[in-house]
Amino acid sequence: MQTKLAHDFVESGKTTGFYSKTAYSSKNSEFRQVLGSGFIYNGFEGLFQYTRRVGSELKSYYNGKIDDLDICGKDIANKDYNKYCGAGRILPDPTSYRTKSYLTKFGYRFGDDSFINLFYEKQSIDSSIEEKSFPASRNQTFTIDKTPYKRYGISYEYMPSDSFLEELKVQFSKQAINQIYNQNSCVFRNCNNQDSKFERSTNIKQDKSQIDLNLNTIDLPIASSYHSFYFGLGFGRDNFKNSGFWSELIKNKREIRLDDANGKKLIKDENGIPILVPSIKGKLGIKKTTGWFSKELLTLDGKILKLPWFAMDGKVYVLDGNFIYTRPIRTDNYYIYLKEYIQLNDRLSGILGIRYDKIKHNLKASSKLGAAIGELAKDTTKSIWNMQDHKVYSNFSYNAGLKYEIFDDTFLEYSFNTAFRAPKIQESFVEFIQGTKHFKSNFDLKTEKAFNHEIELSSDFKYGAFSLLAFYTKYKNFIDYSVSNIVEKVEELDPNTWETVWRDKVVGTRYQYQNINSAHIKGLELNARIGTEDGLFGVLWLHIKKAQKMMEVH
User: Strands 30-41, 44-56: parallel, antiparallel or unpaired by DSSP?
Assistant: antiparallel
Q: Is the dihedral of CA 506, 508, 514, 518 positive or negative?
A: positive
Q: Are 274 and 320 in contact (CB under 8 A)?
A: yes
- Per residue, the 3-state secondary structure of 46-99, as one string, reads EEEEEEEEEEECCCCCCCCCCCCCCCCCCCCCCCCHHHHCCCCCCCCCCEEEEE
323 burial (CB, 10 Å; 0-12 / 13-18 / 19+) is: buried
CA distances from 434 to 372, 374, 476 (A): 6, 11, 32
Q: Give the distance from CA 466 to its chain's centroid.
A: 33
Q: Are 418 and 364 in contact (CB under 8 A)?
A: no
Q: Does 422 fall in a domain?
A: yes
Count, in order, helices (H) and strands (E) of the chain. Answer: 4, 27
Q: Does 361 fall in a domain?
A: yes
Q: Are 445 and 428 in contact (CB under 8 A)?
A: yes
- State the pLDDT at residue 218: 95
> Count of CB atoms within 10 A of residue 9's CB?
23
**What are the 10-residue block averages of pLDDT along the chain, 554 residues in total?**
76 91 88 94 94 87 68 63 72 88 95 94 90 66 85 96 93 93 67 56 90 97 94 97 67 38 48 42 32 42 53 56 84 98 95 98 83 71 87 97 94 96 93 81 94 96 90 94 84 82 84 90 91 77 79 55
- State the pLDDT at residue 20: 92
For 272-289, give the DSSP string.
Answer: --BEE---TTS---EE--
User: Strands 322-323, 315-318: parallel, antiparallel or unpaired by DSSP?
Assistant: unpaired
> Count of CB atoms within 10 A of residue 356's CB?
14
Q: Does 52 fall in a domain?
A: no
pLDDT for 340-356, tens place per residue? 999 999 999 999 999 99
Q: Does 274 fall in a domain?
A: no
Report the SS3 class of residue 263.
helix
Which residues span the domain enclosing 519? 330-554
For 328-357, give the DSSP string.
Answer: -EEEEEEEEEEEEEEE-SSSEEEEEEEEEE
Q: Does 293 fall in a domain?
A: no
- State the pLDDT at residue 75: 55
Q: Please tell me the distance from the alpha carbon of residue 424 to that of residue 401, in angstroms, as a whole number.
A: 30
For 179-220, give the DSSP string.
Answer: EEEEEEEESSTT--TTS-SEEEEEEEEEEEEEEEEEEEE--E
CA distances from 412 to 191, 344, 406, 407, 491 (A): 56, 15, 7, 10, 69
Q: Which H or E element spans position 249?
A: helix 247-251
Q: Which amino acid is at 479?
A: I
- State the pLDDT at residue 175: 96
> Count of CB atoms within 10 A of residue 411's CB?
17
CA distances from 148 to 126, 241, 552 (A): 9, 15, 40
- State the pLDDT at residue 55: 92
Q: Which amino acid is at 434?
A: Q
Q: Does 213 fall in a domain?
A: no
Q: Does 442 fall in a domain?
A: yes
Q: Please tell me the distance from the alpha carbon of residue 420 to that of residue 427, in angstroms, as a whole number.
A: 15
Q: Which amino acid is at 6?
A: A
Q: Does 375 fall in a domain?
A: yes
Q: Please tell me the distance from the alpha carbon of residue 120 to that of residue 152, in angstroms, as a whole number.
A: 4
**Total length of the chain:** 554
- State the pLDDT at residue 273: 47
- Full-prediction pTM beyond 0.85? no
Q: Are 478 and 515 in contact (CB under 8 A)?
A: yes
Number of domains in the chain: 1
- State the pLDDT at residue 551: 58
CA distances from 217 to 220, 228, 280, 339 (A): 8, 5, 74, 11
Q: Please tell me the distance from the alpha carbon of residue 241 to that of residue 414, in angstroms, as a whole number.
A: 43
Q: Please tell me the distance from the alpha carbon of residue 513 to that of residue 480, in angstroms, as a whole number.
A: 6
> Count of CB atoms within 10 A of residue 64's CB?
4
CATH number at residue 361: 2.40.170.20
- State the pLDDT at residue 37: 94
Q: Please tell me the distance from the alpha carbon of residue 422 to that of residue 439, in angstroms, as a whole number.
A: 20
CA distances from 17 to 12, 20, 32, 478 (A): 10, 11, 21, 49
Q: Please tell me the distance from the alpha carbon of residue 214 to that of residue 336, in angstroms, as a whole number.
A: 10
- State the pLDDT at residue 294: 36
- Per residue, the 3-state secondary structure of 367-389, as one string, reads CCCEECCHHHHHHHHHHHHCCCC
CA distances from 232 to 4, 213, 238, 421 (A): 20, 6, 20, 20
Phi, psi of 467 (to 5 degrees): -150, 145
Q: Please tell me the distance from the alpha carbon of residue 184 to that of residue 140, in angstroms, as a whole number.
A: 8
Question: What DSSP character marks residue 268?
Answer: B
Question: What DSSP character marks residue 423?
Answer: P
- State the pLDDT at residue 313: 58
